[in-house]
Amino acid sequence: MKLPKHVIELSNILIELGARPIVVGGYVRDFFMHHQSKDIDIEVYDIASLDDLRSTLKELAPVYEVGKSFGVLKMRYGGYDFDISLPRTETKIAKGHKGFDVRTNGGLSFKAAAVRRDFSMNAIGYDIKEKCFLDPFGGQKDISNRLIRHINDKSFVEDPLRVFRAVQFAARFNYTLHPNTLKLCQNMVKQEMLSELPKERVFEEIKKLLLKAEKPSLGFELLDKMGALFSELKALQGIPQDRLYHPEGDVWTHTMMSLDAMSSLKTGDEKKDLLLLLAVLCHDLGKAETTQIAEGKIRSIGHENFLSPTLSLLQKLSDEKDLITKIIPLVKEHLAPSQLFIQKAKDSAVRRLSTRVNIGDLVLLAKADNFGRATKDAKKRVYPAGEWLLSRARELSVEREKPKPLLQGRHLISKRMKPGEGFKKILDAAYEAQLEGEFFTSAQAEAWLDAYLTSLS
């Protein structure tokens, strides 16, 4: 295993102190998967404490300690993020992710320390001094077989978050869960062990699933197999759709296809991509309650406005109000690009849409919605309505934000008007006129104001 020079430099310092540095975790796993990583975890053996190590490493770069009991030092050096720790054992003594008795012990064997890890693929080490791999649980073979296999029943169930870790790893790497691991996860779900998890920890794993998997649907399908699928998504299974527009099947199938389509449309901006992936996940949740069959026709009238399941799912995942606030209008307006295109809508309608939602983001959502189908246009990745709306929005300078009001309070003050309740009424009327295209410049706005005031006298 060829390590970057900065890793070698840091490791030589550890070896000079009499320690035995072993690279562990994701960096070694990713090496065998032919992935690159900038995060490097090093376990330091044959050393009593990190006190001497801390003072030595400070000469290279700033060092931060994370939790006295865990004995983890964090530092950034040579463009890499290092976690440097002593080997440790963990014993569950209470519920929750903090309910562990943690004992560091530099004299542990690698195998004894690795038992606490979740999966065999994450329990491979690379002994830098001896230049050899340590693989006590067959992680290399499991990687070769594209298999996720837990190490120890007892330690695995002590942290229920590992159910979600199994899911996001399976989706990210397109690996299969070992039958025993799947069965253990299913039993953990049945015993309601996941209920003790803070939503913040669950959301971190869901984020990795959404942002790092080429096909996030694989993760949600696995959650379903485990019996852990969120109820708002489970409700979509078996909800029929008009086969003319949705030959792929029920709303669940369409949602998963749309999610994978959105994954292929990612922008590279993680915050934006997360927003859009969550919006796609939620965009048709309202169909579970609004779908009706009458005279042989399947309709879901108003499903875009039935937002309670969207709010319910998002609040299960996160308390980030700003994120939720941005997702809701995307879900509510996800049909607008197609509707405006069919109606050959005027510029005023496009401007008004921009006051309710970010049009650039909305078009990406609508594309994913339309590509997540089995229609001919979807297979060709063609969505004319989206291109039309984007073009109109760009011409009107409202692709990313709503128009700034051209008439402002200072204009009213210049007319010797005194600030008060009447200001808002006039400014609101002016903005409505601006959206309708009655004026386009500040000078025209002032002329509009003169005419408006004259009409009131």
**Per-residue model confidence (pLDDT) at position 60:** 86
- Bridge-partner residues for 91, per DSSP? 101
- Whether residue 122 contacts residue 150, with contact meaning beta carbons closer than 8 Å, is answered with no
Is the Cα torsion angle 356, 302, 272, 400 positive or negative in sign? negative
The three state secondary structure string of 130-146 is CCEEECCCCHHHHHHCC
**Per-residue model confidence (pLDDT) at position 93:** 61
Q: What's the pTM value of the predicted model, to 2 decimals? A: 0.92
**Per-residue model confidence (pLDDT) at position 326:** 97
Helices first, then strands: H and E counts in the chain: 24, 13
- Bridge-partner residues for 354, per DSSP? none
| CB neighbourhood size of 282 (10 A) | 24
| CB neighbourhood size of 161 (10 A) | 18
**What is d(CA 256, CA 95) in angstroms, rounded to the nearest whole number?**
34
- Judged by DSSP in three states, 293 sits in strand
- Whether residue 239 contacts residue 291, with contact meaning beta carbons closer than 8 Å, is answered with yes
**What is d(CA 140, CA 133) in angstroms, rounded to the nearest whole number?**
10
How does pLDDT run along the chain (457 residues), one tens digit per residue?
A: 899 998 999 999 899 988 999 999 999 999 999 998 888 999 999 987 778 778 888 888 899 887 655 678 999 998 899 999 888 877 666 666 555 667 778 789 999 999 999 999 999 999 999 999 999 999 999 999 999 999 999 999 999 999 999 999 999 999 999 999 999 999 999 999 999 999 999 999 999 999 999 999 999 999 999 999 999 999 999 999 999 999 999 999 999 999 999 999 999 999 999 999 999 999 999 999 999 999 889 999 999 999 999 999 999 999 999 999 999 999 999 999 999 999 999 999 999 999 999 999 999 999 999 999 999 999 999 999 999 999 999 999 999 999 999 999 999 999 888 888 789 999 999 999 999 999 999 999 999 999 999 998 7
| CB neighbourhood size of 393 (10 A) | 23
**Per-residue model confidence (pLDDT) at position 105:** 80
Alpha helix (H) residue ranges in 227-269:
231-234, 251-264
- Domains of the chain plus CATH, in order, are 5-145 (3.30.460.10), 266-403 (no CATH), 409-456 (no CATH)
**Per-residue model confidence (pLDDT) at position 97:** 58
Spell out where 61-167 has E strands. 63-66, 72-77, 80-85, 88-92, 100-104, 125-127, 132-134, 147-148
